Amino acid sequence: MSRLKTFFSVFIPLGFILVVIFCFMYVPKEGKLGYREAFHKALQENHYDEAEKILKQTIDRIQIERPDSPELAACLSDLGSLYSTEKKYTEAQAAFKHALEIDERVNIIDNHLLAKRNNDLGNAHFNQGNISEAESCYRKAIEREDEADPPDDERIITYCGNLATIYDSQHKLVAEEKLLNRILAIKEKEDSEDASGLVESLYKVATIYVRQGQNSKAESLLKRAVSLVDKVSAEKKPVVALNMIELAMLSVKFSENAEAEKMAADALKLVQNYKGSDFALQGLCLNNLASVYSSIEKYTQAEDLLKQSLKLHENHFGANSMEVAMCLNNMAGLSYKQEKYNEAEALAKRAMQIINTAAASGAEKAECLEQYGHILEKLGRKAEADQLLNQAKAIK
């Protein structure tokens, strides 16, 4: 009997202690490492406030228990991504920076992770217009990925592409060319039936050569790109078309109108054969193609393309959408260029009616006001024109 008492006196309290410990260690799915399921569920349902609450609660817990841990860095990175989605770039920058600082202490040999952290922080800086800080982060991302064993080609493409965007904005064409050629070299090695990435890369490098006046280098790349167009996947055709159109616009700038028209025609074939559902991208291609044709004074072709764009936008975005308004504004600009001022006014007026009721950005509204004002000037209605032009200037 005394042994039985001893058993209960020892093991019952011990069992109780184990249960207490288990209950303390157990955290529901939205806590500790299991927070991701609840977090992603909230994201999928567009409950951003709930997603943020889950992350902050998790971060607060981990900061108490494991303040310098990879888990905390992962939570902070998720929070930074959430803030980026909500365009809260200042908050995103702080979260990404904290995550990077932790990982630089505890994950010093994981170069893939550290490269990603630097790239995320660079994106946050870029979205705030902090170009020099973004450039530094993108450089570090590339350096870290290069130190990985082995480097991940897709990540290198992303990081080099981001830094190339910075150099493009700074007109550092030689530095940008080096990065784009590195991306091209990776694409060359890929064994894929879909040549979309390679063709897009060829056009981007060709564009850089044209901008530097190295037309012979550009021409050889263009010939290769054109020979591979049939191997471009259906969904990527508008993306490749946009690159072709950009190069066509550059050709116009350098007075190479015949070459521009040829590229525009090739791009148009891609757009017309596109059967996907990215109507915004398709419409952008049509509008930009119209701009190319207008620049080389092929007004009939330009007008036809803008009419196609207008119909597409009306069918898929609604007659009172901003997409339709900007298309009408482009049509007004084309009529203005041909000195058809009454026709231009009617189109500009329709565009402004939509803009005054739709959620237009300041830049979009200013663009339409300015064009409408210039049209009215040509019609001799100076007082009305000055009023519109002053409104546009105030917005700018």
Radius of gyration of the chain (CA): 28
C-alpha distances (whole Å) from 207 to each of 247, 252, 395 are 6, 13, 33
pLDDT at position 148 is 95
Encoded tokens for 120: 């995320």
Examine residue 393 and state whether it is found in any structural domain, yes or no: yes
207 and 167 both lie in a single domain: no
Examine residue 24 and state whether it is found in any structural domain, yes or no: no
Please report, for the domain that includes residue 380, its CATH number: 1.25.40.10
Examine residue 9 and state whether it is found in any structural domain, yes or no: no
Domain final residue, candidates 270, 298, 326: 298
Identify the domain containing residue 352 by its residue range.
318-396
pLDDT digits (tens, 9 = 90+) for 38-95: 878 887 888 889 988 989 999 999 999 888 899 999 999 999 999 999 999 999 999 9
73 and 179 both lie in a single domain: yes
177 and 199 both lie in a single domain: no
Q: Kindly report the backbone phi and psi dihedral angles of residue 75, in degrees, each rounded to the nearest multiple of 5, phi listed first.
A: -65, -45
Using the predicted structure, report yes or no on whether residue 19 has a pLDDT greater than 50. no
pLDDT at position 396 is 67
95 and 149 both lie in a single domain: yes
The answer to whether the CB of 33 falls within 8 A of the CB of 62 is no
Using the predicted structure, report yes or no on whether residue 177 has a pLDDT greater than 60. yes
The residue with greater pLDDT, 328 or 241, is: 328
248 and 284 both lie in a single domain: yes
Examine residue 383 and state whether it is found in any structural domain, yes or no: yes
Examine residue 57 and state whether it is found in any structural domain, yes or no: no
Pick from 105, 104, 106: nearest CA to 121:
104
78 and 176 both lie in a single domain: yes
pLDDT at position 326 is 93
pLDDT at position 185 is 97
Using the predicted structure, report yes or no on whether residue 286 has a pLDDT greater than 60. yes
pLDDT at position 324 is 94
pLDDT band at 253 (very low <50, low <70, confident <90, very high): confident
Examine residue 228 and state whether it is found in any structural domain, yes or no: yes
How many C-beta neighbours within 10 Å does residue 10 have? 10
162 and 199 both lie in a single domain: no
Using the predicted structure, report yes or no on whether residue 29 has a pLDDT greater than 80. no
209 and 176 both lie in a single domain: no
pLDDT at position 176 is 97
113 and 210 both lie in a single domain: no
* Whole-structure pTM value: 0.68
pLDDT digits (tens, 9 = 90+) for 373-391: 999 999 999 999 999 999 9
Examine residue 43 and state whether it is found in any structural domain, yes or no: no
pLDDT at position 223 is 84
Domain final residue, candidates 131, 156, 183: 183
Domain final residue, candidates 264, 298, 332: 298
pLDDT at position 25 is 38
The answer to whether the CB of 239 falls within 8 A of the CB of 200 is yes
Using the predicted structure, report yes or no on whether residue 22 has a pLDDT greater than 60. no
380 and 361 both lie in a single domain: yes
The answer to whether the CB of 322 falls within 8 A of the CB of 337 is no
Element (H, E) at 231: none
pLDDT at position 13 is 46
Encoded tokens for 89: 């770039």
Q: C-alpha 62: how far from its chain's center?
A: 33
Using the predicted structure, report yes or no on whether residue 188 has a pLDDT greater than 60. yes
The residue with greater pLDDT, 256 or 162, is: 162
pLDDT at position 34 is 65
Examine residue 10 and state whether it is found in any structural domain, yes or no: no
Lowest pLDDT segment from 17-26, 30-39, 298-307, 344-353 = 17-26
pLDDT at position 7 is 39
Helices (H), the chain: 2-25, 35-44, 48-65, 70-85, 89-106, 111-127, 131-147, 153-169, 173-189, 196-211, 215-228, 237-253, 257-272, 279-295, 299-317, 322-337, 341-355, 362-378, 382-395
289 and 331 both lie in a single domain: no
Structural domain count, the chain = 3
Omega prior to 28 cis, within 30 of 0: no
pLDDT > 90 in the chain, percent: 59
Q: Mean pLDDT across the chain, nearest whole number?
A: 87
pLDDT at position 222 is 83
Using the predicted structure, report yes or no on whether residue 157 has a pLDDT greater than 80. yes
285 and 227 both lie in a single domain: yes
